[in-house]
Amino acid sequence: MSKIKITETVLRDGHQSLIATRMRTDEMLPILEKMDQVGYHSLEMWGGATFDSCLRFLNEDPWDRLKKIKSILKKTKLQMLLRGQNILGYKNYPDDVLVEFIKRSLDNGIDIIRIFDALNDLRNIEKAIETTKKYGGHAQGTIVYTISPVHNIELYVSLAKKIQDMGADSLCIKDMSGLITPYVAYNLVKELKKNINIPIQLHSHYTSGMASMAYLKAIEAGVDIIDTAISPFGLGTSQPATEPIVATLKDTEYDTGLDLNLLNEIAEHFKGIREKYIKQGILNPNVFNVDTRVLSYQIPGGMMSNLLSQLEAQNATDKFEDVLKEIPKVREDLGYPPLVTPTSQMVGTQAVFNVVLGERYKMIPSEIKAYVKGQYGKPVVPISDEIKKKIIGDEDVITVRPADLLPPQLKKYKEEIKEYYEKEEDVLTYALFPQVALKFFSLRKAEKYKIDDNLVNNKDMTYPV
């Protein structure tokens, strides 16, 4: 057994899970040289909600963050999370936008791209895997882990074999809600090891309190890489903390080889940042509570705050428990989609409407209609005719890959932002977040390109985490 490799998530999922992705680039840069000496497999530092948050809350250009971090890190690979055909947004984008985004990401410093689709519809990740490899990146295909009557080890092994056949360089088991139990982790990794021959990485969250145990059993089964977050931004709804895992494996056949003293120095830096966000009220201590309800409701940590915000807006916080109970029912109606961006937001919003209005599917968001029409992909379980009729009436459901219906858009986007255009990456920023991008571009043009503390301290968490 070779040593276990560690992907450090503090620069992306660690702070995305605990402080709604509010960490600023200037808070990251001073510690990067030390982090580069650790010997991590990779640093996950981009993708997910970081792109949106940089623009929306921090007045930062996410492309600048990537370049600045890359300029300091000489040894450690940079990793990002990509939502397949959704890229970093919340809908499917045309292939020309996807291809250009991946190419620019690699050109600006990304080495490894973890690629997933919320429905495990592999048609939605195939183009991204192909493009990542074409332009010299490491393409990590992903199976999104969830629990339902149809999601089982046999299904996951089948998906993994197809992902390997697509040319993926490695496979990630993405457990975004902390659902995987230790012995399921062991059995799943064992079966995957029998059926595929690319490295396997496990990503989990500590929400249910099981992730560290699941990691240990997965390590015993032969997993190659695990995701952890340095302790000030570990545990809770984040990943297991890096230092205890390293200490646990020390002097065993799985020894990571990482220096605990150096990790402790890095932790000291992030403790200061953590304290700042506690004082600002952005880091809520409740995110560190073990919440086994997630095993029933499968709600990722960030989705919980979104639900509360929606209910507060409706003066209906007393209906929170009812919404929690409604979510599994909506999920079943929709074919048991895994609850991860963007399906988590869609299912959660529909559950809120169903409860607050006192009638199921009286109000239906446009995203739910698009989902039922097949515009996000195909769920594992077909949606019943009764539910389809209720949501989209007699409209047709598409059966092709959703992006096949989308015409090229890059030239149009470039024309639309010609007043603000400074670099090719601006076109991609606008493509993903048009309104937020235009506001950012106008500030940049007016030379007001600076951190706005009012935005940073905004406690509105109603965006994907």
Asked whether the beta carbons of 339 and 300 are under 8 A apart, the reply is: yes
pLDDT at residue 176 is higher than 50 = yes
User: Any idea which residue has 């040593």 for tokens?
Assistant: 3
Nearest Cα to 346, choosing from 379, 319, 393, 385? 379
Could you tell me how many helices (H) and strands (E) the chain has, helices first? 22, 8
Closest C-alpha among 6, 13, 36 to residue 238: 13
For residues 349 and 222, state if they share a domain: no
DSSP-derived secondary structure for 236-253: TTSPPBHHHHHHHHTTST
Q: Is 292 domain-assigned?
A: no
- The answer to whether position 462 is within a domain reads no
Residue 144: closest CA among 99, 112, 114, 111: 114
Residue 100 pLDDT = 98
- What's residue 463's pLDDT? 34
Which residues have a Cβ under 8 Å from the Cβ of 280 and sit 6 or more positions away? 456, 457
Give pLDDT, residue 448.
57
**Read out DSSP for 106-122?**
HHTT--EEEE--TT--T
Angle at 56 between CA 52 and CA 62, to 5 degrees: 50
- Domain termination residue (choose one: 369, 399, 429): 399
Do 198 and 319 lie in a common domain?
no
Q: Are residues 170 and 215 in the same domain?
A: yes
Q: In terms of domains, do 226 and 362 share one?
A: no
Task: Confirm whether 161 is domain-assigned.
Answer: yes
Answer yes or no: do 392 and 265 share one domain: no
Look up the pTM and report it.
0.93
User: Is 463 among the domain residues?
Assistant: no
Q: Which helix (H) or strand (E) holds 43?
A: strand 42-47
- Omega within 30 of 0 (cis) for the link into 342: yes
* Domain finish residue from 232, 253, 285: 285
Within a domain: 294: no
Q: What rounded mean pLDDT belongs to the chain?
A: 93
Model confidence at 120, pLDDT cuts 50, 70, 90, reads: very high
* C-alpha–C-alpha distance, residues 298 and 301, integer Å: 9
Residues whose CB falls within 8 Å of the CB of residue 14, separated by 6 or more in sequence, listed in order: 229, 230, 233, 234, 238, 239
Distance CA 231, CA 216 (A): 18
Same domain, 219 and 134: yes
Q: How confident is the model at residue 464 (pLDDT cuts 50, 70, 90)?
A: very low
Any domain includes 465? no
Between 23 and 451, name the one with better pLDDT. Answer: 23
Return the pLDDT at 234.
97
Let me know whether 101 and 231 are in one domain: yes
Q: Are residues 35 and 134 in the same domain?
A: yes
Domain that holds residue 431: 407-455
Question: Are residue 135 and residue 12 in the same domain, yes or no?
Answer: yes
Amino acid at 380: V
- d(CA 108, CA 105) in angstroms, rounded, equals 5
- What's residue 307's pLDDT? 79
Position 460 pLDDT exceeds 70: no
Q: What is the mean pLDDT of residues 143-161?
A: 97
pLDDT at 461: 39
CA angle, corner 60, sides to 461 and 264, nearest 5?
75
- Sign of the torsion angle spanned by Cα atoms 283, 449, 441, 100: negative
Beta bridge partners of 201: 172, 225
The answer on pLDDT for 38 being more than 80 is: yes
Of the listed ranges 178-182, 293-297, 433-437, 458-462, the one predicted with least confidence: 458-462
Q: What CATH number did the domain enclosing 182 receive?
A: 3.20.20.70
Domain boundary among 285, 315, 340: 285
Count how many domains the chain has.
3
Q: 77 and 184: one domain?
A: yes
Q: What DSSP line would sit under 67-97, residue for residue?
A: HHHHHH-SSSEEEEEE-GGGTTSSS---HHH
- What is the number of alpha carbons within 13 Å of residue 135 lying toward its C-beta? 21
Whether residue 149 sits in one domain with residue 49: yes
Work out the average pLDDT over 94-115.
Answer: 98
The residue-averaged pLDDT of 133-143 equals 98
Per-residue model confidence (pLDDT) at position 390: 95
Angle at 204 between CA 201 and CA 206, to 5 degrees: 150
Sign of CA dihedral 57, 63, 69, 75: positive
Percent of the chain with pLDDT over 70: 95
Beta-carbon count within 10 A of 207 CB:
30
> What CATH number has the domain bearing residue 369?
1.10.472.90
Task: Please answer whether residues 326 and 354 qualify as being in contact, where contact means their C-beta atoms are separated by less than 8 angstroms.
Answer: yes
What is the distance between the alpha carbons of residues 156 and 145, in angstroms, rounded to a whole number? 8
Rounded to whole angstroms, how far apart are CA atoms 85 and 71?
A: 29
Task: Looking at the structure, tell me whether residues 273 and 347 fall in a common domain.
Answer: no
Average pLDDT estimate for 149-173? 98
Question: pLDDT digit string (tens) for 254-285?
Answer: 999 999 999 999 999 999 999 999 999 889 88
Considering the domain boundaries, does residue 290 fall inside one? no
Phi and psi angles of residue 361, each rounded to the nearest 5 degrees, phi first: 65, 25
Q: Is residue 268 part of a domain?
A: yes
Helices (H), 239-394: 242-249, 260-279, 294-297, 301-313, 320-333, 343-356, 366-372, 385-392
pLDDT in tens, 439-452: 999 999 887 545 45
Instruction: Place 465 in a pLDDT band, splitting at 50, 70 and 90.
Output: very low
Q: pLDDT tens for residues 203-243?
A: 999 999 999 999 999 999 999 999 999 999 999 999 999 99
